[in-house]
Structure 1
């Protein structure tokens, strides 16, 4: 079978902080407060199925097993937990998320089969005055942090920053963080669903009961001092050039502006992921016969196989491109 860009049926997740904002992407949301759309996922808690082409209906796990290194590249087919290495999401934050932190791959209390979670956020939309929690105050060490938590003063220890559409935040494992109300976010992360909550505003969960906190694990995995987190503003002045947003041991993410036709070569040894943040257009590639194409709109996410040599984006779009590190 010739490779082609794969689009997947999203897995929607109801969250106490979610809403209906992802309907703006044209998603047919189920009832409830939908906080997350997992658009490319291969996890025990949600595996997306292909929505287009000959593989329609096949889960990403099935595609990985059938095509392996040929379609996903060497690293994509041999991740630490045997699954696809990344999890790609859109988030709709109608309320504040819990104050949280994620472990790294080496934390001894990780559930079997789970990875750590290094991630990045691209702010697709921000309401005026929207903010996020992004790290600890510089002077906060473990003892200070533990004491503030015990005395219900955790908010005094955190850095809160205002955000605008187009801001990017790189969040290595160990960085205390939280999205707050009024943002829609593209999230690229390790394939993990492990979150340790430090504080949840004393609110009930979807079942009416307080959500579990994980104070011990959180204190253990928090990076005190410099966690390696970085922030960028990402205005683009020229089309058809990549602006690097984040480089981590787990993914590289760039931002680009499509204005007309832009032919993009595959990155050697890895798949690519394209996310459409705004605008409309098409993707075209050399297909089964001559050339195939697919219309694109905001909210679309595509997995570009490693053995698809090139593809062409056209129209007027802002896109994110992610792939695995190549060295």
Structure 2
């Protein structure tokens, strides 16, 4: 079969901090506080299935088994490993827990799990919205442990105001938390491992306090700096890629489409497109698709030439 851009049925996740804002993308949400839409992923906690075309109904894992390196590229396919990335949209109606993710080498990682390096692109933010992004200068393990014991962890954390178009790179070891009023696209390693430092003493969905992982968190924090970077991107040049994150696991770029833009996939990696705002069209050799905000496409490595047209903002992610 000829390769074609793959769109998936998102996996919806209820979260204590979630809401209903993902409905604006035309998603059919189940009842409850939906905090996460896993739009492209193959994980033990959720695998997305193809919508449309010859592969309709297949899970991403089945696509990998059937089409291997042809679709995922020489860098993106491994016979014994799942798809390397997980793409999400997050609706934060309340503050997320203060958390940190381990790297791939932490000896207490759950069996079969990876570390978690990620990046956020802010799709929208209510006035005054903020996030927690790193520790304040001079805070080491001893100072942070003492602050936690004394119930004043928030004094040790750096708060950053956010607006639509802001981008944050969050390597493993970075203390962070999204806060109320932001809608975010997240590109991350294929991992669901989170260590919580603090959760505002609130009950979870089951009415009980959510588990904290203070010792693991203190172990994996990069106290001397993780390499986290942030970028304001609202001055991005049209029809040119602006690099937002360059990690060992993914490269993510922002593109503002203003006129027809001829592009091509590479044989060594798949490409993921996330439509942030606006509308337009994706065309390839023998097909086309209308694009709308919130849609995510996996372009097979063997797709070759494609064109973006319209007035829209797009994130492009691929393997380094």
Q: TM-score, normalised by structure 1?
A: 0.96
- 1:117 aligns to what SS in structure 2? coil
What is the distance in 2 between the residues matched to 1:100 and 1:237? 31
State the 1:268 CA deviation. Answer: 4.3
Q: Corresponding residue for 2:22?
A: 22
Q: Corresponding residue for 1:165?
A: 164
CA contact (8 A) 2:239 2:259 kept: no
CA contact (8 A) 2:73 2:268 kept: yes
What is the distance in 2 between the residues matched to 1:267 and 1:258? 20
Task: Give CA deviations for 1:240-259 in whole Å, capped at 9, x if unaligned.
Answer: 11011110000000000112
State the 1:260 CA deviation. Answer: 2.7
- 1:73 aligns to what SS in structure 2? helix
- 1:260 aligns to what SS in structure 2? coil
What is the distance in 1 between the residues matched to 2:306 and 2:103? 34
Q: Corresponding residue for 1:116?
A: 115
Matched, 1:67 2:67: yes
What is the distance in 1 between the residues matched to 2:259 and 2:56? 29
2:296 corresponds, among 295, 301, 310, to 301
CA contact (8 A) 1:236 1:256 kept: no
CA contact (8 A) 2:256 2:314 kept: yes
What is the distance in 2 between the residues matched to 1:268 and 1:77? 11
Aligned positions of 1:84-123 closer than 5 A = 84-123=83-122
What is the distance in 1 between the residues matched to 2:175 and 2:267? 34
Aligned positions of 1:1-327 closer than 5 A = 1-78=1-78, 82-286=81-285, 291-325=286-320
What is the distance in 1 between the residues matched to 2:125 and 2:218? 30
Q: CA RMSD in A?
A: 1.0
State the 1:39 CA deviation. Answer: 0.2
Gaps of 5+ in 2: none
Task: Give CA deviations for 1:13-36 in whole Å, capped at 9, x if unaligned.
Answer: 000000001111111111100000
What is the distance in 2 between the residues matched to 1:66 and 1:114? 23
Quick check: 225-234 or 8-17, which moved more?
225-234
- 1:68 aligns to what SS in structure 2? helix
Gaps of 5+ in 1: none
